[in-house]
Structure 1
Amino acid sequence: MNEKSSDPDQIEARIAQRLRARREALDLTLEQLAERAGVSRAMISRIERRESSPTAAVLGRLCAGLDITLSGLMAAIEEKSLVLLPGKAQPQWRDPETGFERRAVTPAGTGSMVEIVEGRLPPGARIAYPALPANAYDQHILGQDGILIFESGDDRFAIQAGDCLHCALDQPHAFANETTAPCRYLVIIARRKPS
């Protein structure tokens, strides 16, 4: 088992490295990514140099600008592929702004079109994400504990334990916890095959 996988400092370093590597692979300058993602050039530079920790909202905007899901980014920071990814080795990340906690459940490097993420949203927290390219991804949200509010365009759903919502990611969307108790949910993201 890789002991460094759950070390927050190591994960933050790999997030910064992966963001920069993805930007460079797409041949984007900091200015171009800033325009695509709606995040300032200075902030992107600070994140890549590990001078600033990104929030979930900023990471979401950067991922949209880099044409990758947040799950895809997090899966890519794994140092090696495993067929079995034990719970203790699953990368976890905590948003410093909202307290949102994210755990990448699926092993990286398998070539699977599916990613599974566990989210834990504290009371009163809300995270908004931009739209991703149309017809590139869709997702299922499975309630585990508490009540998760999911908003997409004019639609709003209260997802409780056992409820499962399917939706595309082609418009801005948000996850919120409007209760006084934490909520926990799974997000299953599927990359759609090109037609």
Structure 2
Amino acid sequence: MEENIASLASAIGGRVKQERQARHWTLDQLAEAAGVSRRMLINVEQATMNPSVGTLLRISAALGVGLPDLVQSPEPKGVKVTRKGEGALLWSSAAGGRGVLVAGTEPPEVMELWDWTLGPGDQHASEPHTPGTKELLQVLQGTVTVVAAEQTVVLETGDSLSFPGDVAHSYGNNGPDAARFSLAVFERGVGSAHREANNA
């Protein structure tokens, strides 16, 4: 598993550097656009750390690419299969929680499909995504508490929820057993602001 994490960190670092250099941006320019420190970007590009999902989202938004583009190898268009165990593990916890990005589409209409497990007591807070982002969640096992748009909703196995992803939100497991849910995230127009600026 540590080899997979190191391999993913290396792939992410390479993609961030490739996308940054393709835009002829310095580390400082990307850091400012993404709202992260220069040191953080150096650590990401050199794969010396495993960045948080929030950091990756800020970097991908600044570059005008979807999160799946940063964590998946570029492949020819068409059918892409992600076999069991091959998704990008982007969050984990001491209680056994895991956030795995299992599939995604390319900009400008980016759709992400996640497989989440929350161990007992796990909480995962997410910063607001780009304006207009929508999220869909279905609980596959256990009980999940979602806080979004100042509402708290407790979901049981089989329950579903749709909510805006462009507000601060969180997922939690207050129960004694592991909880698992599938999450789809839709971001419209990823990279369109960068394309418009380049065309101006």
Task: Report the TM-score when normalising by structure 2.
Answer: 0.73
Is the Cα contact below 8 Å between 1:101 and 1:121 reproduced in 2?
yes
What is the CA–CA distance in structure 1 between the aligned matches of 2:67 and 2:107, rounded to whole Å?
17
CA, structure 1 residues 178+56, in 2 after alignment: closer, same or farther (shift >3 Å)?
A: farther
1:119 alignment partner in structure 2: 116
Is the Cα contact below 8 Å between 2:144 and 2:155 reproduced in 1?
yes
Cα deviation 1:142-163 (Å, max 9, x = unaligned): 1111122211231111222211
Partner-residue secondary structure (3-state), 1:87: coil
CA, structure 1 residues 83+156, in 2 after alignment: closer, same or farther (shift >3 Å)?
A: same
What is the CA–CA distance in structure 1 between the aligned matches of 2:127 and 2:93, rounded to whole Å?
18
Matches within 5 A, 1:47-86: 47-66=44-63, 70-71=67-68, 73-74=70-71, 77-81=72-76, 83=79, 85-86=81-82
Cα deviation 1:122-159 (Å, max 9, x = unaligned): 22222222212222x21201111112221123111122
2:195 alignment partner in structure 1: none
What is the CA–CA distance in structure 2 between the aligned matches of 1:64 and 1:126, rounded to whole Å?
24
Matches within 5 A, 1:36-51: 36-51=33-48
Matches within 5 A, 1:95-114: 95=91, 100-106=97-103, 113-114=110-111
Is the Cα contact below 8 Å between 1:127 and 1:174 reproduced in 2?
yes
Is the Cα contact below 8 Å between 1:141 and 1:164 reproduced in 2?
yes
Q: Paired residue for 1:186, among 182, 188, 192?
A: 182
CA, structure 1 residues 93+48, in 2 after alignment: closer, same or farther (shift >3 Å)?
A: same
CA, structure 1 residues 27+149, in 2 after alignment: closer, same or farther (shift >3 Å)?
A: farther
Which one has a bigger Cα radius of gyration? 2
Matches within 5 A, 1:161-180: 161-180=157-176
* Structure 1 residue 118, shift from structure 2 partner: 0.8
What is the CA–CA distance in structure 2 between the aligned matches of 1:176 and 1:30, rounded to whole Å?
35
Is the Cα contact below 8 Å between 1:140 and 1:167 reproduced in 2?
yes
Moved more, 141-150 or 23-32: 23-32
What is the CA–CA distance in structure 2 between the aligned matches of 1:119 and 1:177, rounded to whole Å?
11
Task: Report the TM-score when normalising by structure 1.
Answer: 0.74
Partner-residue secondary structure (3-state), 1:105: strand
Tell me, which stretches of 5 or more residues in structure 2 are unaligned?
A: 193-200
* Structure 1 residue 78, shift from structure 2 partner: 2.6
Is the Cα contact below 8 Å between 2:135 and 2:164 reproduced in 1?
yes
Aligned length: 186
* Structure 1 residue 166, shift from structure 2 partner: 0.8
* Structure 1 residue 7, shift from structure 2 partner: 3.3
What is the CA–CA distance in structure 2 between the aligned matches of 1:78 and 1:9, rounded to whole Å?
15
Q: Which amino acid aligns with 2:73?
A: E
What is the CA–CA distance in structure 2 between the aligned matches of 1:42 and 1:31, rounded to whole Å?
10
1:146 alignment partner in structure 2: 142
What is the CA–CA distance in structure 2 between the aligned matches of 1:170 and 1:97, rounded to whole Å?
24
Is the Cα contact below 8 Å between 1:147 and 1:158 reproduced in 2?
yes
